[in-house]
Structure 1
Amino acid sequence: MTDRIAVREPIDSRHPAAGPRPRPPEPWAIRGELILNCNCTVFCPCVVSLGKHPPTEGVCQAWAGVRIDEGHYGAEVLSGLNVGLLLEIPGQMARGNWKAAAFIDERASEAAFAALVRIFSGAAKGTTGLFSVLVSEFLGAERAPVVFETEGATRRLMVGKKIQGAVEPVRGADPEREIVVTNTQYWMGPDITVATATQGRVRAYGRVWDFDGRSAEICQIDWQGP
């Protein structure tokens, strides 16, 4: 004898051809630093306009690098890995229709690689979930030797021969202090260091870009989801 009431299995009303239900995203978090260099001639207007103002050149072409100091996706450790990104936006950032590609650190395990693809495609939701809405064409995700180095104030990202970039903060009246736009609502983080690229070369996915001397950003990131 038992006092438990039998409960039927939940009914799946979806079409049989729909396939299995998508796996829900795991809890995840990433802390570290992001650098970005785009084709804007002056500091990117997207930071303060939140994507409502068009890029200075009408379209946005950019590369970015992420250094993960601490990170996890569920039980999978992401700490110590790097990621490179290629972004192409046809106008105002907030209007979407982005194209994007991801270069995942070749040191990542199979599980870490899959986790980082989910995070940077927006499938993991949370901070980067907007990618799933704004990116209309995900060009691909591939393993690559992604190196993120810091030497003094200079940050470098090297993704083989595909991305070779270096950015450094723009000097202010006090050379010991960085110029920082603080307390923003920018998706990457509230405090953005104004920088410029000393090197900004992309040779990937048919793109041939050289953005030396163009706008750059440095941001401490603290992202999480879902």
Structure 2
Amino acid sequence: MGRRRLCFGGYHFEGSRKMSWRLEGTYFENCNCDMVCPCATSGLTVPADNDRCQVALAFHVDTGDVNGVDVGGLTVCVVADTPALMGGGGWKVGLLMDAAASAGQAEALGAVFGGQLGGPMENLAALIGEMAGMESLEMAYANDGRRHRVRIGSAVDMAVEDFVSPMDRTELGVKVSGIGFPADTLAAGTASTGRVDVFGMTWDNAGKNSFSAPFAWSA
């Protein structure tokens, strides 16, 4: 089997295209749709609520291994600005890497989240028109099951809470199933803070849509 040099924003990962990897943890996102984003619920076939979709997705890896590299305990954030119809492509995407990651860990996670090692991110690669790069920043990620927050240097400050209907006596919250990416079932919510300023992408999505879920990826 041949070996390929893989990269994302200047990071390189030497490895077989068929190498095995797995990541498990929690994720949340915040976009500028009003609530329950039509992009996610339609498989990217229905336009967003606005002319552009501006979204940040934060992934905290509880346990993970990429070709023998332990990546547990690290956080990664994907930031994207796309046309309203996300399935049409033309995305601008940047990757923020946890400064706590070693060079080897950053290379491994960069290859996974860049889509070069297969898995869910590979399916999005054809939609990316501009790869803005990857930056390493200090990150603080918090998750209590219903409230989720990440602070990433001066680049990202997002805090969201899963929505519980006042008519829901179970208090389990609103869930949307059959999504597929980044997990099959997502908890819907809203953001109290949704500020992004990095890679030439700047917005504030406070009060707008959020999703959260445990995720388990492998390839």
Structure 1 and Structure 2 fold alike (TM over 0.5): yes
Q: How far apart, CA to CA, are the structure 2 residues paired with 1:152 and 1:120?
A: 24
Is 1:178 the counterpart of 2:170? The answer is: no
Q: Give the number of equivalent residue pairs.
A: 207
Q: How far apart, CA to CA, are the structure 1 residues paired with 2:40 and 2:199?
A: 26
TM-superposition CA deviations, 1:196-221 (whole Å, max 9, x none): 00100011122220111001100211
**Cα offset for 1:143?**
0.9
Q: How far apart, CA to CA, are the structure 2 residues paired with 1:27 and 1:152?
A: 29
Local SS of the residue matching 1:133: helix
Q: How far apart, CA to CA, are the structure 1 residues paired with 2:89 and 2:72?
A: 30
More strand by share: 2
Larger radius of gyration: 1
Aligned residues of 1:120 and 1:131 also touching (Cα < 8 A): no
User: 2:124 maps to what in 1?
Assistant: 131
Local SS of the residue matching 2:47: coil
Is 1:163 the counterpart of 2:159? The answer is: no
Q: How far apart, CA to CA, are the structure 2 residues paired with 1:131 and 1:118?
A: 13
Name the TM-score, length of structure 1 as normaliser: 0.86
Aligned residues of 1:31 and 1:71 also touching (Cα < 8 A): yes
CA RMSD of superposed structures (Å): 1.9
User: 2:136 maps to what in 1?
Assistant: 143
User: 1:93 maps to what in 2?
Assistant: 86
Is 1:34 the counterpart of 2:18? The answer is: no
TM-superposition CA deviations, 1:6-42 (whole Å, max 9, x none): xxxxxx9xxxxxxx85443321111111100001122
Local SS of the residue matching 1:156: strand
Aligned residues of 1:121 and 1:138 also touching (Cα < 8 A): no
Please tell me the residue identity of whatever aligns with 2:38. Answer: P
Q: How far apart, CA to CA, are the structure 2 residues paired with 1:130 and 1:72?
A: 20
TM-superposition CA deviations, 1:35-69 (whole Å, max 9, x none): 00001122101222100001011321011110101
User: 1:194 maps to what in 2?
Assistant: 188
Please tell me the residue identity of whatever aligns with 1:209. Answer: W
Identical-pair percentage: 27
Name the TM-score, length of structure 2 as normaliser: 0.88
Gaps spanning 5+ residues in structure 2: where?
6-14
Q: How far apart, CA to CA, are the structure 2 residues paired with 1:224 and 1:134?
A: 21
